């Protein structure tokens, strides 16, 4: 038996717009996540109902308790607390999250709150293009302070912005669809900087306002292998990690961009506008931990500059190529999910070691999971051995990383139950609990524990997995 520390946090995760539903109920405002989901509502489910956690949270938390969860990582919807982002506070929203938090604590489950998970208030996007303006920094700081005051007596672990390093690559999530192509990279760099500044203020305020509060960022982790042992390819793999994740961790942990990133921003003439007070604010922010989201690894080769590839220009979004730096290639040694994520538990161990070696901060896994189309069998069950196999291999990688010396204090896979996938609706399911609905038929939203639910229940009970 591979046993974990007796205080290890076993849990699971979700996000507000993907699980709650009740998108405009009790004063909630519309978010960018809502707006984007409605654009695709003819092809898949949207945020209007999602998994309807808003109306089922008590029974859902009972299932979390039954599974044995020690911690629940979930996000608060900014638009439930402040519907237009920077105006009146909505007491009904505060009441809802107070009820959720109290219910979790009554069931001996630690609440672990994400303040912002891809759901900027739409009003701020319309008012001043959201994160492109410093006004959004002030609005977010105020929102975070409202949450600390309302919930900080009971919530002691906070994660500020989920996967900023991934979110910034996706135009839709940043409300950048209407930004002219010639201006996109400069706007993107400015938005990214403002989110770093907002995160810095939120981390400092947490330490000031929440007694014994702990706070940190969550990153979409990147581990890239070179496609060959050519030095150029080794460098390209390193730079892919640097440009997609490591630059962000450097800013979170040390308060400044690393040299390679400064060089790129300056040569591209897109270095963000700053103010003299920013440097002190960024350096004063000290994360207590790093939250790691891990799904796959990548492979890269050097991408030279030529007539078709102008230096510094990127191609694509999430797994973009960068001219003069790197080009992403498939890894022939790995199998992939039906949605293209290459499955690599060894990469998980590597990335945890890499981050701990560089930043020497405790870590918690806040996302890791297998998304696929689960099907109810004739006996009304979900037999998802494929998910069990995936999770077992990745939990083993966590155990091995701890033996390597990594300080890992929790594992919260994605997701606690089936939730709305941003791009595949309810066709792509991650949960331990099946939500019986389709994209266009809500049925009764019945909750059905999967085989993986009972397997994870035993993992938690045994505080480890069998060899």
Closest CA to 361 of 283, 292, 464, 259: 292
Residues 6+ apart with CB under 8 A from 351: 221, 222, 223, 292, 294, 297
**Residues written for the chain:** 467
Catalytic residue among 20, 103, 163, 172: 163
**Cβ atoms within 10 A of the Cβ of 182, count?**
7
Pairing of strands 224-226, 290-293: unpaired
Residues 6+ apart with CB under 8 A from 316: none
Tell me how far apart the terminal alpha carbons of the chain are, to the nearest angstrom: 5
Residue for token pair 């070691």: 353
Work out the angle between the directed axes of helices 181-209 and 134-151 (0-180°, nearest 10): 30
CB 199 within 8 A of CB 252: yes
From residue 130, alpha-carbon distances to 226, 253, 467 in Å are 37, 24, 49
Q: How far apart are CA 53 and CA 55, in angstroms?
A: 5
Catalytic residue among 103, 250, 301, 367: 367
Q: How far apart are CA 412 and CA 165, in angstroms?
A: 20
Identify the bridge partners of residue 326 per DSSP, sorted by sequence position.
322
396 catalytic per annotation? no
Pairing of strands 2-3, 464-465: antiparallel
208 catalytic per annotation? no
Residues 6+ apart with CB under 8 A from 42: none
Residue for token pair 């040694």: 333
Pairing of strands 321-322, 298-301: unpaired
Q: How far apart are CA 250 and CA 358, in angstroms?
A: 9
Show the beta-strand stretches assigned E in 331-454.
Answer: 363-367, 408-411, 433-436, 446-449
Closest CA to 17 of 6, 1, 8, 45: 45
Residues 317, 419, 72, CA angle at the centre, nearest 5°? 100
CB 402 within 8 A of CB 418: no
CB 349 within 8 A of CB 400: yes
- Annotated catalytic residues are 163, 367
């Amino acid at each position: 038996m591979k046993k974990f520390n007796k205080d290890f946090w076993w849990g699971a995760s979700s996000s507000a717009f993907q699980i709650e539903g009740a998108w405009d109920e009790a004063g909630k405002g519309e978010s960018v996540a809502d707006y984007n989901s409605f654009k695709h509502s003819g092809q898949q489910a949207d945020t209007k109902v999602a998994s309807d956690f808003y109306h089922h949270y008590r029974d859902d938390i009972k299932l979390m308790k039954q599974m044995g969860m020690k911690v629940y990582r979930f996000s608060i919807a900014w638009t439930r607390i402040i519907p237009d982002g920077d105006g009146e506070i909505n007491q009904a929203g505060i009441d809802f999250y107070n009820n959720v938090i109290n219910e979790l604590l009554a069931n001996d489950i630690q609440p672990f709150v994400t303040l912002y998970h891809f759901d900027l208030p739409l009003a701020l996007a319309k008012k001043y293009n959201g994160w492109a303006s410093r006004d959004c920094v002030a609005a977010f700081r105020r929102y975070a302070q409202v949450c600390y005051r309302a919930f900080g007596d009971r919530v002691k672990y906070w994660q500020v912005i989920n996967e900023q390093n991934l979110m910034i690559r996706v135009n839709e999530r940043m409300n950048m669809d209407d930004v002219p192509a010639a201006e996109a990279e400069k706007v993107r760099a400015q938005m990214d900087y403002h989110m770093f500044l907002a995160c810095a203020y939120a981390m400092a305020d947490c330490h000031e306002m929440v007694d014994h509060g702990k706070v940190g960022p969550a990153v979409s982790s990147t581990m890239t292998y070179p496609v060959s042992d050519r030095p150029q390819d080794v460098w390209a793999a390193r730079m892919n990690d640097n440009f997609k994740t490591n630059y962000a961790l450097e800013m979170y942990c040390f308060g400044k961009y690393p040299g390679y990133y400064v060089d790129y921003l300056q040569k591209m003439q897109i270095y963000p506008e700053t103010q003299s007070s920013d440097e002190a604010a960024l350096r004063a922010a000290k994360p207590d931990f790093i939250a790691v989201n891990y799904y796959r690894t990548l492979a890269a080769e050097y991408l030279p500059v030529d007539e078709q590839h102008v230096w510094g220009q990127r191609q694509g979004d999430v797994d973009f190529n960068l001219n003069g730096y790197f080009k992403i290639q498939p890894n022939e040694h790995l199998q992939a999910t039906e949605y293209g994520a290459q499955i690599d538990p060894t990469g998980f161990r590597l990335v945890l070691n890499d981050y701990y070696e560089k930043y020497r901060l405790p870590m918690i896994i806040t996302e890791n999971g297998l998304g696929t189309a689960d099907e109810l069998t004739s006996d009304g069950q979900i037999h998802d051995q494929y998910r069990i196999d995936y999770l077992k291999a990745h939990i083993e990688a966590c155990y091995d990383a701890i033996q390597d010396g990594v300080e890992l204090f929790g594992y919260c896979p994605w997701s606690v139950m089936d939730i709305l996938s941003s791009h595949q609706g309810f066709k792509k399911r991650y949960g331990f609990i099946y939500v019986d609905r389709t994209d266009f038929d809500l049925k009764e939203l019945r909750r059905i524990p999967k085989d993986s639910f009972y397997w994870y229940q035993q993992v938690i009970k045994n505080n480890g997995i069998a060899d």
